[in-house]
Structure 1
Amino acid sequence: MRGSDAMQEALFTVAKLEDFVPADHPLRGVRTLVNEALGRLGGLFNLIYADTGRASIAPEKLLRAMLIQIFFSVRSERQLMEQVRYNLLYRWFIGLAIDDAVWDHSTFSKNRDRLLEHEVVESFFTEVMTLADKCQLLSKEHFSVDGTLIQAWASHKSFVPKDGSNDDANGGEPSGRNTQANWKGKPRSNDTHASTTDPDARLFRKSHNTAAIMSYQGHVLMENRSGLVVGAVVTHADGLGERAAALAMLDTLPGTHPKTVAADKAYDTRDFIAACRQRRVTPHVASNDTRIGGSAIDGRTTRHAGYAVSQTIRKRIEEHFGWGKTIGRIRQTLYRGIRRVDQHFKLTMTASNIVRMARLFTRIPQGAVQ
């Protein structure tokens, strides 16, 4: 018998959001970790918000919504609010009931900026790492470091002389919103030019075989036991940013005991090697024998078995970069200004950590992580 194509809704429906989410859904483990970390931030949230006045959006819900935007590659706040209206999985993760009103995208953006201004993302990152340390997932001795290029939300046409002069990029024709530009034969550098769209962005290229783009540099310090990010920072894009950021992140590691740090050939410089050894950190850096003067490390370091292990494990740091660029959408940031780009990069690396930790917990007996 053919069924009817008509749809008739019941007058009353008794259903919970919990009923719509499968028991084995990956977000269940992720939400448990997120809620445990957010539960430790109650004191910070009380300092940010006033005791009186109209109730604002709960900061816990804001952070969960920002994580949803990363997990599912939602490109904008406007699209996120639109999808939260009809996606029950998003509502369940954020903490909105079926009949709760969804915020306007402008209201969401203003409240999100409040969290960024008070560096809530950094505190959230710290609490997630505290949970990982409590579960004995973090290494205290062995680390890896690397950097990646983040394309800025600015175009070459916004890269104009700082003194306000006209560099005739359009060949003398009247300027407009999207005029043809030609900079062939005209010197353009970060010393003389700056972007009017994002002044913090820098013109940079990774090698002589690639084009220069307006960009930032994101840096990550990873521990080698579980492959979790323990440090993340964004700097201006320049030739010295990777090594300077690596040393700054190494300085934040607790304890004065000996440590190792693995890195690629870009870190094989005598100043970086010497700075690491001053910090009692053994540099397991890939040898760059093609550099003028030879490699800064020799057989005293490379002959040990631990050096080969570090060189193998350090490549796992690319998993965080790959996940962040394909899922977290940090290949080209939507934010302007180094501070906001830094907060977005930290939140993306935190989300990558949470996903990795949730997968690790499914392989570890429950009694071992309590």
Structure 2
Amino acid sequence: MLSKQDMSKRAQMGFFALEDLVPQDHLLRQMDQFIDFSFIYDLVKDKYDETQGRPSLDPVLLIKLPMIQYFFGIKSMRQTIKEIEVNNAYRWFLGLGLEDAVPHFSTFGKNYTRRFKGTTTFEQIFYEILAQCMTEGIVDTSEIFIDGTHIKAHANRNKKESVEVMDQAFFYTEKLTKEIEKDREKRLKKPLKETNAGTKMAMKKTSTTDPESGWFHKGEHKEVFAYSAQVACDKNGWILGYTTHPGNLHDSRTFISLFKKLKGAFTLDKLIMDAGYKTPAIAQLLLEENLTPVFPYKRPMTKAGYFKKNDYAYDEYYDCYICPNDKILSYSTTNRKGYLEYKSNPEECKNCPVLSTCTNSKNHTKVITRHIWAKAIERCEEIRHQRSFKDLYRKRKETIERIFGTAKEFHGLRYTNQIGIEKMHMKIGLTFACLNMKKLIKIKKGRAGKVCFSLEKQRNFSFILKIVHIKKTNLIFT
């Protein structure tokens, strides 16, 4: 039988409490139950004047606005406010009644500019949430997974200009320079002449919309302005730290800032990273810190049709390389980049039968380079071949890669409408705080359910004992 819905219910009137309109199993109800947001008052206390001005918006309500946006992957603050106006669960979470006015969409932006710009407030919020996770005993920092991801900036790829900028120095430059000087002195080589390498200038593409973003180039078709987030998590997927950088900086350059944060906050043991971090400087740094770096296999950067570097055997005792034709490449010099150069004898090479697969040098000289810290990379290779570490590296897809996928697919981290690296840092921090909160809520809910189930079993068991006791008593008296 065909039926038609009675639309007169739209005008129905009744007495309802907002509490009754929010489902008991709603995610925001669980967040309010299991997450303590009271720490926000202490964080922002010095940002408010206690004696002058009009009463301000509750700072917890203010911080919850972007949390709702990032938690549910809403595109913008304007759209978030529209959602709050019609969503009873959002109103309940913010403490707003059905008749209360929802803050204007520009409210958070203005408060950010006046109170939070230039501060570490949002990063502190992330670590306060992480501290609540750690008090539950569910965070394990013995195995830390580190990786970077790119977030498309709010900038038109066609609105750009070439600007001459100062090239950023590597974190190990000073230490490497000392190592080079020591090595050249040991080999009776003259010291290298001083240069202005620290003030080297380079031409780079810069966005006219968001100059703090970086030109990200990946493959033939992906060229956009973007930001890069360096992220660390433990083996259970808890996010432990993050840093924000322009998208044109390589992972090996941005690693050090995240590493310093992790080192200052946690006790580290094993660091699992992809091939982008497999550089002599990072390997040397981690081994000096008595940490275990876990890297994958990295394909040699060799031209097709030529011998690979591992086809040339290094003789540590005589400090030379032996080519596939059993000829010796002797030490020549140590260059400014920290590479020891080994060269072949051109007289021996010019009549070599495999010369065409060895080098295309006009003077028939093959040059092999070996970094001063090559032993650190060799040690990492020894670690890589151990089965336990191979299994450990495979966990990246279950931990750090899953975090990136979830953040981009469900929490709006694939793109950003924020302009400037500081606002981008805020968005990344709050998004990862939301991911940690989701996991914490699930675990606390599960534990609370087990406790309730255990108490129910105890009550049922006590009731059964009472029944048995009554039956035994009646049996005795009869």
Quickly name the TM-score band, shorter chain normalised: 0.7 to 0.9
The equivalent residue for 2:413 is 330
Gaps of 5+ in 1: 164-188
Instruction: State yes or no: 1:308 paired with 2:417.
Output: no
1:313 is aligned with what amino acid? K
Q: CA deviation at 1:192?
A: 4.5
> 2:215 maps to which residue?
203
Provide closer, same or farther for how the CA distance between residues 357 and 251 of structure 1 changes in structure 2, counting only shifts above 3 A.
same
Identify the residue that residue 400 of structure 2 maps to in structure 1: 317
**1:290 aligns with one of 287, 294, 300:** 300
Partner of 1:47, secondary structure, is helix
Question: Gaps spanning 5+ residues in structure 2: where?
Answer: 165-200, 303-308, 311-376, 452-478
1:268, 1:296 within 8 Å by CA — same for their partners in 2? no
Please say which of residues 256-265 and 60-69 is displaced more in the overlay.
256-265
What CA distance in whole angstroms lies between the structure 2 residues aligned with 1:4 and 1:335? 45
Q: 1:97–1:257: structure 2 CA closer, same or farther, 3 Å change rule?
A: closer
1:101 CA displacement: 0.8
- Identity, % of aligned positions: 24
Question: Structure 1's 99 and 112: CA in aligned 2 closer, same or farther, altered over 3 A?
Answer: farther
Is residue 227 of structure 2 the alignment partner of residue 216 of structure 1?
A: yes
Q: What whole-Å deviation, never above 9, does each CA across 1:287-306 have from its counterpart, x for those lacking one?
A: 21434656655553124454
Q: State the SS of the aligned residue for 1:157.
A: coil
Q: Considering only aligned residues, what root-mean-square deviation do their CA atoms show, in Å?
A: 2.7
- Post-superposition offset of 1:4: 5.4
Q: Does 1:280 align with 2:281?
A: no
Residue 444 of structure 2 aligns with which residue? 361
- Take 1:156 and 1:284, find their aligned partners in 2: how far apart are those partners? 36
CA apart distance, 1:258: 5.3
> What is the CA deviation profile of residues 188-237 of structure 1, one whole-angstrom value per residue up to 9, with x for unaligned ones?
x972442211111111213x44432111111101111x211111111122
Deviations along 1:99-125, one digit per CA (max 9) or x if unpaired, are: 211111122321244345433211110
Within 5 A, what are the aligned runs for 1:43-122? 43-51=42-50, 52-113=52-113, 114-122=115-123
How many pairs align? 336
Distance in 2 between residues matched to 1:258 and 1:9, nearest whole Å: 61
Shift of 1:336: 1.0
CA distance 1:269–1:157, shift in 2 (3 Å): same
The answer to whether the Cα contact below 8 Å between 2:144 and 2:233 also exists between their aligned partners in 1 is yes
How far apart, CA to CA, are the structure 1 residues paired with 2:438 and 2:129?
11
Question: In the superposition, relative to structure 1, how do residues 298 and 79 fare at CA in structure 2: closer, same or farther (>3 Å)?
Answer: closer
TM-score (norm 1): 0.82
Q: Which has the larger radius of gyration?
A: 2
Would you say the 8 A contact 2:143–2:268 is kept in 1?
Answer: no
Cα offset for 1:318?
1.5
Q: Which of 264, 269, 272 in structure 2 is aligned with 1:259?
A: 269
Query: In 2, distance between residues paired with 1:256 and 1:119?
Result: 19
Tell me, in whole angstroms, the C-alpha distance in 2 between the residues paired with 1:87 and 1:258: 44
Relative to 1, partners in 2 of residues 1:257 and 1:151: Cα closer, same or farther, differing over 3 Å? closer
1:59 positional shift:
1.4
| Other-structure match for 1:339 | 422
Change (3 A) 1:238 1:41: same
